[in-house]
Amino acid sequence: MNRIVAYIGEGNNDVKALNCSDIGFVMGIGTPIAKESCNLILKSNDIEGIVHAVEWGRNVYLNL
């Protein structure tokens, strides 16, 4: 179906979903295990940071 799955997590119970998703986001307060299994670690703990990360990612992708 050509869809991309993103997952936002921060705890040990989110590790499997972070590994299975196309891109995994972990907030700054996440556990070390979750941070190891994600693709992108956000320093801030607010959802707005994810919006900015996606916008920048799209810009980089389009420019490549």
Rounded distance between C-alpha atoms, residue 46 and residue 51, angstroms: 10
Q: For residue 38, give its domain range.
A: 6-63
Please give the pLDDT value at position 53.
77
1 located within any domain: no
30 located within any domain: yes
Query: Encoding tokens for residue 19?
Result: 């590994």
Tens digit of each residue's pLDDT, the chain (64 residues): 788 888 989 899 999 999 999 989 898 888 999 999 998 888 877 778 778 877 888 888 888 7
Structural domain count, the chain: 1
Please give the pLDDT value at position 47.
79
Rounded distance between C-alpha atoms, residue 60 and residue 57, angstroms: 5
Neighbouring-strand partners of residue 23? 6
pTM over 0.85? The answer is no
Please give the pLDDT value at position 28.
83
CATH code at 13? 3.40.50.1000
29 located within any domain: yes
27 located within any domain: yes
Neighbouring-strand partners of residue 22? none
45 located within any domain: yes
Please give the pLDDT value at position 18.
93
